[in-house]
Chain A
């Protein structure tokens, strides 16, 4: 086996599994799944700081502790497959503004989990805030190069805990708990307002994975999974405008989609900074694509291409959850099936829900019910609000002949044939 360059290791592997190349472990040596803080402090970074391509005067001595000048980021963080789709805030003014918006004056003793911070511009802005506002800052960052600019901060500020894993691995949160990292987080009842301590921030990459993460996190809310077991924890996403548009799509519009409904049903979603505050992309984010063949105002602004607009979004779980605990799968199923024909009136599109689903129409238009409990079946799925959706789902749940197996698909994967 030729030793693989760590750079060639695809991105998802670092997210899912363990950062170190296989070769670094002995064959049967158990996997080290987690690098603790203490250990990380003692242990020298495996990779040495590599010599930068261009020296910046006076910078080298503080390198790591401080970030390079923002116009030099391309040189200090050159193209790497692993990070190529990870968008990070680069402009310190923007991050300052964001930090202030997220932890405004008057906040106290916040515990913030920042997942996948990249080089850490935002991290630094957070640390610059008045000390009493933030009690603890937990960083989840898997990339070696970025860690070189994150870890030195630990020496400066003891509020920082660094975990060398991505926040996209569910396992890492179990680790946090096991390590007692969240022991001092209060469990705040859902009805007692937004969680006063805990906040979550993450940069969302421009990949399917990023978009997945967002929808997964919404899905964690109804059953109070993940951080939501502590209460209504606000989430801050630095995400593509493409994704924001989907979340923000108005009822009845062509953009309205499943994740938009799920988002609206579970959370209040706002732009934490105005759109313009993070535009244009090249002034605010890293990486800026090589301009010659991929100019930044792209022809297709709504694709996952690096360089398309990014912005900052805040989501706060709603106190009243339209999705009853345990009903998540039903919602998922109904939305998924119905949005196939999102512009077709319910009267017809309801059939997607299963054989004989047309009988649900009777329930939805039952004149014995108050008008607020009825649904206009001439509307199409993209024209329904959350309340109307909850009526549809309710009818479905109560339908004795509803399909039993709501699991993702009934199509066999055709991978494992052959005898």
Chain B
């Protein structure tokens, strides 16, 4: 029978995984030639690759001096004043658009620009693009306008002139017009090298003596153009080498005419420069000095290039590529990624879809040869073969659909104005063939996300697909542009010296500029457009993709089949609101946890085969062609704008260099562990956190009285639901593991690299989502460093300790841990040699897969002749013990706390959790003695485990409710407390635990409060340049307080912003984004417009600031450590507060960790933050009314932290509700400014709001008088306190509490604490 055969085949495929061809094939095309360059890699000298950083041995010899001097430099670096990035606060949404556009483009404009971009691409619809462009460029000074946009438009005009013979004159004329406008300043946009390259081409093609003359009054002769260029100090060579000059012939012509012009102008230097360029392009002059061999001339052409008819460089006298390459070498300071080395990665990135297609097709045809006829194809084939089928159908469908859409839109455009939103230009950017793959692959990838079983939320899917299309378009552009890729941004033996820094900066900026010049302009799509595009694609897919399902009727035994959509759309209700979801047909979902998946993974989600492209700019770095952002932005353009500015200003060098260091660590797959994983996987059994193939728990039974008893029914339903959920979880876990195995297999014989980027606090994350060292135990167990280092005596010792740590034996002293391991050598050997058939000791450890990997490493080392010279690749970890609290303790100088988190030395590690547990226990004892029932119940039951999570999460600002929940869960797990009492007990305990933590980390507590208060105040302020407009805004209702209050709410636009010691500006993204419904083909989708301004969410701003600040600090520590480790030649990787290196280099890393931590915390971090707030938020006004809240808590807290504001005696009288923080001035000076709300008075000068204005009292009276007259009786009813507060403002800087006092602990002690990181 057929089904049986298929099943057998499937198992065969599964079990034979190991013997499948090596994965290199996965990424190579069928042609063998391509592999050749890749294998050549091995022969390259080590120094050349990875060439990003100098080889360690160069540094080693002066390591000591470097280390000691670097420590001074680092100290200087950290203690200097941090340069801030300052941008204006966003304006509220009711401010007219024009005023807002300089920094933050709104999405309507964004959409226009994106449509224009699409219309220009391949000259899809240049006339339309021109219409849009002409509209856009009226917005002078808007952030969206950029010279490269102008250049692209002009390039298209020029191309149109050529393409459309009827209109040549028109386009040429428009081109010159635009140029003239740029030159004469009308556009406020200065021409660039690219502009001149275009104009020279225009001249060349259409000058009066050319074969196709176009008369234009505005046309300029090259002489004039050259003059203009020189005026703007634009390099002629840049012009000649510009991207827009398509052929060497053309470039040569341009060069000649420029030379001629230069001769005419008698500019000898220019003539020389040009002739040298010519020599380079002709290959007559070595492009570089001896160190680097000129790459291009000797490079063999790739098969593709031969196919595309690229000519051999040597055969033509003028090769523009040579010149461009030369320029790249200069820009990148000679560190250019050789083509052959990048080839596989490039191929991987650019040909994903082709590769996927080949594989699916292969699979499909394979089934064909097995004689499975088309009739059963839908039912019996594999996932790949299905996908191939869907793809065929979808592609055809899309081709016709896109035509329909284009026709429809054209009709609409005729009927209506231009304002109709267009989609067809976007759809034309990427071929239907690829659109089809993108759609299918993205849906497969997102399966199981968002908590949806076998599916996903529609919104996420549509946006993701839209975005994938956009990415594909941009990746294609990258490929077309084919800019040389740098392998470094420059390096320095010391990152922290002024010289080292400015070197980094110079080099990175040159490289970034080179990259930018080489790329044509493009612009991101708005979320709405993405979801609409996604909607169209998904709708079509659902319409054409089918699978055949078969089932047997349970009664008749008759088998039934039905063709069903492979993907379908449905709605669910979540607490009464609808939620649209896309789901996979169950038949498809089943395959995802069994079939092979590699076709479904985009390289954008895989590790890389070469070291990542160094980060040069906000979207420039990481993968070679796929653009990724250096920071993961929340829906906040503010964050993006700040970062952009900081990078432009050259402040981000160390952060970017840090990311490059993290990305440069080569990894490989642990083959031995992989083999074990695979065996477990294929066995389908549950082990080491790998879920079973078939969920192994029994379903709940239906109770007898289910039919009659409403209560029994609801209980059963609940059980049923949690069972279903557990089962679904099992399935999705299984899918996840499948992904990991698949990726591991693909990279089994390769070095791999993890490109990193940042979250908004500056923490670094590897980009590949499935398999990276940040992943779970399984991922980590599968990864090894690629480069081995000899263990040495210490290394061996550390390896043992590492094993003990992973197993869970981490509370003892180092030596005890090492001894513990020695006592278990037998088990270890058994685990290493006989992982599955032996005693399986490793599976009982905390992190079984890593334990296994370590067992294998240790065993191998011990078995080797000389364990000390064993070449080890296993990463060994040093973890901060409760890192957040460590930072808090260091900031606050908490002696007790410092001891508990091992900042202070001890002979064995302290454990905060145990400590807090004991404290709580003591209090309980006391309570029990006093007869408190609950205490008696809980006596002796407070283990470390009960309090652990709560202690950990206090750093994140856990509240009572959260703590209670955690503790309740733990208590329930113990099973020795009656279930119904757990909740009450948890309430009781939560209070105790929170108090105990507060008592232990008093300094931390104060700092947390201080941070929280600052954020609370800042997020309620109004920026100085907005202030006057803000209070004058509500004119209609003559100072009705309600209006004023809501006005203040609307004017709350200030996010908390600060700068880390590495100069990274951090913007908290929490705002109250308004969301709108957007219609798509599938359903309407509810999304926010990130570019529309929104008030801050001050609650979130305040509660998230303390953890975010601490995280920005630990991120800084990590980056400093990474940079320093790199300088010292150590391999380094990190998972936030867990730092990894080779076993042999743990000692040096430990030293670095301590040095950087001490220096960081010796640099008065908080003082600097305070100072920054004072400067950054200078003049920001806080309406006093915001200080009032229920119970006067805020005022109380402010008062307790020592805040006092100065007020005149009169003012003081009216300020009773905030009396606790008012200080009456004798001199009559006041920090409180007053301004009646909404009055249409004359503009108010700043001084009114500042202190020391004698006349101020008069002015108050005057205002009051006016108001009384104007206002009717109802205003008189206003409550006194509020009226008094409403019109009053204070500078937020005056309200910021002084820093809490620091405790006695000195961070220097950390130097001698062995268990600080362990």
Report which A residues bind B (CB closer than 8 A): 1, 22, 26-28, 31, 170-171, 174, 216, 220, 223-226, 229, 336-337, 340, 351-352, 354-356, 359, 400-401, 405, 407-414, 418
The smallest beta-carbon distance between B1077 and chain A, in angstroms, is 15
The B527-581 residues at the A interface (CB cut-off 8 A) are 549, 551, 553, 560, 562-565, 568-574, 578-579, 581
Collect the chain B residues with CB atoms within 8 Å of residue A401's CB.
549, 551, 560, 562, 564
Collect the chain B residues with CB atoms within 8 Å of residue A418's CB.
949
Q: List 10 A-B contacts (CB under 8 A).
A: A1-B988, A170-B710, A225-B713, A356-B564, A356-B565, A359-B562, A407-B724, A410-B572, A412-B452, A412-B728
Collect the chain B residues with CB atoms within 8 Å of residue A405's CB.
724
Q: Beyond the given A354-B568, A405-B724, A412-B451, please list 7 additional residue pairs across the A-B interface where CB-CB is below 8 A.
A: A174-B709, A226-B710, A400-B553, A401-B560, A401-B562, A412-B452, A412-B453
Q: How far is the CA of A413 from the CA of B936 in the complex (A)?
A: 35
Given A27-B934, A355-B568: A225 and B709 within 8 A (CB)?
Answer: yes
- Residue from B451, B569, B936 in contact with A411 in the complex, judged by beta carbons closer than 8 Å: B451
Given A1-B987, A356-B563: A414 and B451 within 8 A (CB)?
Answer: yes
Collect the chain B residues with CB atoms within 8 Å of residue A414's CB.
451
The smallest beta-carbon distance between A348 and chain B, in angstroms, is 11
Number of A-B contacts (CB under 8 A): 103
Given A220-B710, A225-B710: A355 and B573 within 8 A (CB)?
Answer: no
Collect the chain B residues with CB atoms within 8 Å of residue A31's CB.
980
- Highest count of chain A CB atoms <10 Å: which of B553, B562, B579, B981: B562
The smallest beta-carbon distance between A352 and chain B, in angstroms, is 6
The smallest beta-carbon distance between A24 and chain B, in angstroms, is 13
B560 touches A400 (CB 8 A): yes
Collect the chain B residues with CB atoms within 8 Å of residue A400's CB.
551, 553, 560, 562
Nearest A residue to B579, CB-CB: A411
The 6 A-B pairs of least Cβ separation, nearest first, read A356-B564, A27-B933, A412-B451, A170-B711, A355-B568, A410-B453
Collect the chain B residues with CB atoms within 8 Å of residue A355's CB.
564-565, 568, 583, 585-586
Collect the chain B residues with CB atoms within 8 Å of residue A223's CB.
707-708
Q: How far is the CA of A309 from the CA of B814 in the complex (A)?
A: 75
The smallest beta-carbon distance between B1186 and chain A, in angstroms, is 23
Collect the chain A residues with CB atoms within 8 Å of residue B560's CB.
400-401
B570 touches A354 (CB 8 A): yes
The smallest beta-carbon distance between A85 and chain B, in angstroms, is 18
- Residue from B455, B581, B708, B717 in contact with A229 in the complex, judged by beta carbons closer than 8 Å: B708
- Residue from B451, B573, B714, B721 in contact with A336 in the complex, judged by beta carbons closer than 8 Å: B573
The B965-1010 residues at the A interface (CB cut-off 8 A) are 978, 980-981, 984, 987-988
Interface: B833 (CB within 8 A): no
Q: How far is the CA of A79 from the CA of B137 in the complex (A)?
A: 63
Q: How far is the CA of A223 from the CA of B981 in the complex (A)?
A: 36
Nearest B residue to A341, CB-CB: B571
Collect the chain A residues with CB atoms within 8 Å of residue B450's CB.
411
Collect the chain B residues with CB atoms within 8 Å of residue A409's CB.
572-574
Collect the chain A residues with CB atoms within 8 Å of residue B455's CB.
410
Interface: B729 (CB within 8 A): yes
Q: How far is the CA of A28 from the CA of B586 in the complex (A)?
A: 49
Collect the chain A residues with CB atoms within 8 Å of residue B453's CB.
410-412
Given A340-B578, A352-B570: A411 and B565 within 8 A (CB)?
Answer: no
Interface: B937 (CB within 8 A): yes
Nearest A residue to B949, CB-CB: A418
A26 touches B710 (CB 8 A): no
Collect the chain B residues with CB atoms within 8 Å of residue A351's CB.
568-569
The B724-758 residues at the A interface (CB cut-off 8 A) are 724-725, 728-729
- Highest count of chain B CB atoms <10 Å: which of A26, A220, A401, A405: A401
Collect the chain A residues with CB atoms within 8 Å of residue B581's CB.
411
The B692-727 residues at the A interface (CB cut-off 8 A) are 707-711, 713-714, 717, 720-721, 724-725
Q: How far is the CA of A83 from the CA of B1152 in the complex (A)?
A: 65
B725 touches A412 (CB 8 A): yes
The smallest beta-carbon distance between B1228 and chain A, in angstroms, is 41
Q: How far is the CA of A225 from the CA of B706 in the complex (A)?
A: 10
Nearest A residue to B567, CB-CB: A355
Nearest B residue to A26, CB-CB: B933
Nearest A residue to B712, CB-CB: A170
Nearest B residue to A410, CB-CB: B453
The smallest beta-carbon distance between A397 and chain B, in angstroms, is 13
Q: How far is the CA of A250 from the CA of B452 in the complex (A)?
A: 35
Collect the chain B residues with CB atoms within 8 Å of residue A174's CB.
709, 711
Collect the chain A residues with CB atoms within 8 Å of residue B729's CB.
412
Q: How far is the CA of A411 from the CA of B720 in the complex (A)?
A: 14
A22 touches B710 (CB 8 A): no
The smallest beta-carbon distance between A277 and chain B, in angstroms, is 32
B728 touches A410 (CB 8 A): yes
Q: How far is the CA of A351 from the CA of B708 in the complex (A)?
A: 33
- Highest count of chain B CB atoms <10 Å: which of A22, A27, A171: A27
Collect the chain A residues with CB atoms within 8 Å of residue B711's CB.
170-171, 174
- Highest count of chain A CB atoms <10 Å: which of B572, B936, B987: B572
Given A26-B933, A410-B728: A216 and B710 within 8 A (CB)?
Answer: yes
The smallest beta-carbon distance between B746 and chain A, in angstroms, is 27
B563 touches A408 (CB 8 A): no
The smallest beta-carbon distance between B713 and chain A, in angstroms, is 8
Nearest A residue to B576, CB-CB: A208
- Highest count of chain A CB atoms <10 Å: which of B573, B579, B720: B573
B708 touches A225 (CB 8 A): yes
Collect the chain A residues with CB atoms within 8 Å of residue B586's CB.
355
Collect the chain A residues with CB atoms within 8 Å of residue B573's CB.
336, 408-409
Q: How far is the CA of A410 from the CA of B574 in the complex (A)?
A: 10
- Residue from A28, A171, A225, A359 in contact with B707 in the complex, judged by beta carbons closer than 8 Å: A225
- Highest count of chain B CB atoms <10 Å: which of A351, A355, A401, A412: A355
Q: How far is the CA of A321 from the CA of B551 in the complex (A)?
A: 32
The smallest beta-carbon distance between B535 and chain A, in angstroms, is 16
The smallest beta-carbon distance between B1233 and chain A, in angstroms, is 32
The smallest beta-carbon distance between B732 and chain A, in angstroms, is 9
The smallest beta-carbon distance between B945 and chain A, in angstroms, is 13
Collect the chain A residues with CB atoms within 8 Å of residue B725's CB.
412-413
- Highest count of chain A CB atoms <10 Å: which of B568, B579, B720: B568
Q: How far is the CA of A225 from the CA of B713 in the complex (A)?
A: 10
A352 touches B708 (CB 8 A): no
Nearest A residue to B983, CB-CB: A22
The smallest beta-carbon distance between B49 and chain A, in angstroms, is 39
The smallest beta-carbon distance between A66 and chain B, in angstroms, is 36
The B578-618 residues at the A interface (CB cut-off 8 A) are 578-579, 581, 583, 585-586
Nearest B residue to A326, CB-CB: B707
Nearest A residue to B987, CB-CB: A1
Q: How far is the CA of A401 from the CA of B553 in the complex (A)?
A: 10
Q: How far is the CA of A413 from the CA of B586 in the complex (A)?
A: 21
The smallest beta-carbon distance between B1131 and chain A, in angstroms, is 28
Collect the chain B residues with CB atoms within 8 Å of residue A26's CB.
933
The B925-974 residues at the A interface (CB cut-off 8 A) are 933-934, 936-937, 949
The B358-402 residues at the A interface (CB cut-off 8 A) are none
Q: How far is the CA of A182 from the CA of B775 in the complex (A)?
A: 61
The smallest beta-carbon distance between A311 and chain B, in angstroms, is 24
Q: How far is the CA of A389 from the CA of B563 in the complex (A)?
A: 25
- Highest count of chain A CB atoms <10 Å: which of B724, B729, B980: B724
Nearest A residue to B454, CB-CB: A410
Collect the chain A residues with CB atoms within 8 Å of residue B579's CB.
411
Q: How far is the CA of A269 from the CA of B86 in the complex (A)?
A: 67
Given A220-B710, A337-B571, A412-B451: A27 and B981 within 8 A (CB)?
Answer: yes
Q: How far is the CA of A105 from the CA of B846 in the complex (A)?
A: 76
The smallest beta-carbon distance between A403 and chain B, in angstroms, is 8
Q: How far is the CA of A22 from the CA of B934 in the complex (A)?
A: 12
The smallest beta-carbon distance between A246 and chain B, in angstroms, is 14
Q: How far is the CA of A22 from the CA of B983 in the complex (A)?
A: 12
The B432-470 residues at the A interface (CB cut-off 8 A) are 450-455
The B1063-1112 residues at the A interface (CB cut-off 8 A) are none
